[in-house]
Chains A and B, each alone.
Chain A
Amino acid sequence: MPVIEYIEAIRTAMKEEMERDERVFVLGEDVGLKGGVFGTTKGLQQQFGELRSLDTPLAESAIAGVAIGAAMAGMRPIAEMQYSDFMFPATNQIISEAAKIRYRSNNDWSCPLVVRAPIGGGVFGGLYHSQCPESVFFGTPGLKIVAPATAYDAKGLLLSAIRDPDPVLFFENKKCYRLVSDEVPEGEYTVPIGKSKVMREGDDITVIGYSMPLHFAMQAAEELSRDEGVEAHILDLRTIQPLDREGVLEAAARTGKVLIVHEDNKTGGVGAEVAAIISEELLYDLDAPIRRLCAPDVPAMPINPPGEKHYLLNKDKLKAAMLDLARF
């Protein structure tokens, strides 16, 4: 099976789906001739023409709003937000419109839209090219939110998102683009929205998370296994809305010790909801308090290298937190 980069998996998903379904098109800033500032849409305009790989004016609310209109008209738009940091002007369109169209019309109208947005830091992007905005949208009924950590899931989840009859926010991690490569089958396959995946099995502690920090957890888990004899059970949520409750509870019950990790800041993050689900259902099965390892509650990460490094999670931070929990 070919090993490809995470970014290539995203591009391939769009290309294959555009070949399969002529209703699918991508729109956003620089997505056309340039192929995106990261290269995610490279080659699509050459293959599918200007309309289906559409360079838009620099106006995020219009990118989302036009895509919503086209989706209601029966198209399958993929709206690209260049950085998730620039998604906030489109928030009203996403939360007041896309999320509520089916509900407010009592199922008369629907909005099969994908909004793709790169999240995360570690690329010296400073405050406004590094954020994780999941918690802004998380908890908005009507939206589905996915955040793949692997190339395999990136392709499979993007295909599911495009085919989904409702709006899906696809948060791709920009640090993963070229850092993460894994086996991706050629051709069509989907990863279901709403289903988590066990990345690693273990009986000592459970780590639950999504996106980039899971790779640090996997590296830390290997070292802890080798050096400390601690076996971590690692669950990739993959979809953060709707959360896979059963998957979360099963993973938590497996070890009774839970560490939740994400790059979004701690307060009000997805981890708070995961912790609440476990508390509601499994409190007396726990052997330790639920812990969270997240970004600090500061507005965003600084661009200076020591500041950025201090802000971000890494293997060593994960390892320390996992070991500490194992020893509880």
Chain B
Amino acid sequence: MKDGFEGLPDLSGGPGERLLARGVSRRDFLKVCTGIAAAMGLPLGMGAQIAEAVTNPKRPPVIWLSAQECTGCTESLLRTNHPTLEKLILELISLDYHETLNAGAGKQCEEALKKSMQENKGKYILVVDGSIPVKDGGIYCKIGGKTVLSLLEEQGSQAAAVIAIGSCSSWGGMPSAYPNPTGATPVHAIFKEKGIKTPVVNIPGCPPNGYNFLSTVLYLLTFKKLPQLDEEGRPKFAYGRLIHDNCERRPHFDAGRFALEFGDDGHRKGYCLYKLGCKGPETYNNCPTLLYNDAGSQAWPVGTGHPCFGCSENKVGFNIPLHTPAVLKDVTPPVNFPGIVEDKGKGVTVAGAAIAAGVAGAAIGVAAATSKNLGKKDKDKGKSDPESKES
């Protein structure tokens, strides 16, 4: 996937404009709008307001398709402040279909969906959360009698762009974990197989930080193009750096200071969680800099004392056991880090160990930074063994 997408269709313009362009008179159009307002029981005068709004640039239409999901991705948007969910759907976009948020149900929702797809063909943004089950003809997820596989083909092929929100739609996520009973498949893989050319942006995470999704939407609305993406189709502004490289506990890693068990002395001093299986060294995400839920310091997994489990990283989250040490992407650490506390009379002193580790750690840090600066990345080294399933 290359960076950015040229030729992304214009997302503005609406049915009103098209009606007027087709020669419907402004007077007739106003009449229609007044009729709509009356039918809805709206106060007098709102017909003119609707007519004006419909002929003005519209809020970009967005259709949200939920596949095999837990609604966590939607929930993450209930927690954002800049912008808030209400600002997003009342002022910035027109969220025309979303199973959890639709005010109506059944037939009324399906009609709203069909209407938006017809009016905005090639112009709407499709958001997909959840993985797509393909096993047994896709019967493991159906909406209104149709498989979500067929709905994705139909809605995806007519969209201007797709945002795959969450690990499930980005790379399969939790439902794709061994033994993957439903054949859970990500959106981009379905598109590749079906020859659908619509560009896909992946926003992995379980769920992703709401701001990584919102910033992608705001980027689209502001710059009228997709953000720069990495090889995995992820926006660089969010997934451009390893968690390990921005972690507030990194100095402890470099100095060889580790927590060995929850609640031990090192853990209570905020030491590095590498030895507890933290996957920060192989997970690309902005958790440590962005933090979660506008709740101040420490509001992310490593910040509260729990190792990162690589929820956003393909082949890491839901694949590698929680406490299995991470594969280091750029450097290999010394085989034996000094322990935190040695029994009296045995081994090195705490201070001695820290000094020795500090020297080694500084060297590792420099090496890592240098290889980063040179853009060198040993991809194969970072790949985990796909056979090592949690039993």
Asked if A pairs with B, the answer is no
Binding site for B on A (CB under 8 A): none
